[in-house]
Amino acid sequence: MSKKLKLGIPKGSLQDATIALFARAGWNIYASGRSYFPSIDDTEIECMLVRAQEMARYVETGALDAGLTGNDWILENLADVERVTSLTYSKASRTKVKWVLAVPEDSPYQKAEDLAGKTIATELVEYSKRFFAERNIPVKVEFSWGATEVKPPMLADAIVEVTETGSSLRANRLRIIEVLMESETQLIANKAAWQDEFKRKKIETLSLMLNGAMAAQSQIGLMLNVEKTNLDAVLDVLPALNSPTVSELRDKNWVAVNTILEQHTVRDIVPKLKAAGGTGIVEFPLSKVVL
């Protein structure tokens, strides 16, 4: 039998974003119906959908060789796994999420210490218990099965909840009094699998290509032509990822310039390139940027 890497794909809020990231990295994952075993166009990988909350535990025990989950759930489970790389993406953005301590807007609580003797609802139970214990704040931490934002003040005095923008908290008239941690997606590996030559190479390939796809999301390629007399002026405008590529054209008085730019800078840089003598300026998307 050929060797296979058992890979956990996070089921739930991260699922679609993860499958889209793999597609940009070169792997097509097909999840359909109620199956927990999506197909992938790589005969050396076997996928399984697993909740992010449980992923680290299954990777630690070896049920999975590798998987993607949040740093928050690694810490929640105190999982002993190999952290291969960080991938900063979430279900709605490419930013880290935050676990925050939040209370009703009109409550008197201003800091964590004010909640001594109170009840905290959260899905992140063990980490929250350690957070309050380290500060010697006696609280009751209860597991929340969902809809955590609606529990204060009737069902809990405060909550520890994950947020990307804070909009859901504000909509439920809650305010943040402390940030417990920031979290991002991690590619993790089982310690034994990491020592296996085949599996380690496969995981490292995944890491390389996923990071390349992540890097390309915020960058674009740019090429233009410029007379040699204006080349220095054009290069002074370009904050290139590395040195721009300058190539001779058929007309020896002209060169072509190729470079990579952060997408948000293009609107400011293109007019400057035009003013510096650039012409035939073409912007094009990137699928991967591998450094």
- CB-count exposure of residue 161 (10 Å: 0-12, 13-18, 19+): buried
How far is residue 65's CA from residue 52's CA, in Å, rounded to a whole number?
A: 15
3-state helix vs strand vs coil in the chain, percent to 5: 35, 35, 35
Residue 210: pLDDT band with limits 50, 70, 90: very high
Give me the numbers of helices (H) and strands (E) for the chain, helices first please. Answer: 9, 16
Q: Please calculate the CA angle 70-159-183 and round it to the nearest 5 degrees.
A: 20
Strands (E), the chain: 5-11, 29-30, 39-40, 45-51, 66-70, 82-87, 97-104, 119-122, 140-143, 158-163, 174-183, 185-189, 219-227, 245-248, 254-262, 279-285
CB 212 within 8 A of CB 205: no
Q: In degrees to the nearest 10, what's the CA dihedral of 37, 40, 43, 46?
A: -30
User: Cα-flanking dihedrals φ and ψ of residue 231, to 5°?
Assistant: -60, -45
Q: In degrees to the nearest 10, what's the CA dihedral of 114, 115, 118, 123?
A: 170
CB 175 within 8 A of CB 105: yes
pLDDT per position as a tens digit, 217-230? 888 999 999 999 99
pLDDT at 93: 60
DSSP reduced 3-state for 60? helix
pLDDT at 164: 85
pLDDT at 1 over 80: no
Q: Which has the higher per-residue pLDDT, 288 or 46?
A: 46
Q: DSSP letter at 244?
A: P
Residues 53-82 have a mean pLDDT of 97
pLDDT at 79 over 60: yes
pLDDT per position as a tens digit, 135-164? 999 999 999 998 899 999 999 999 999 998
pLDDT at 166: 83
pLDDT per position as a tens digit, 230-284? 999 999 999 755 689 999 999 999 999 999 998 889 999 999 999 999 999 999 9
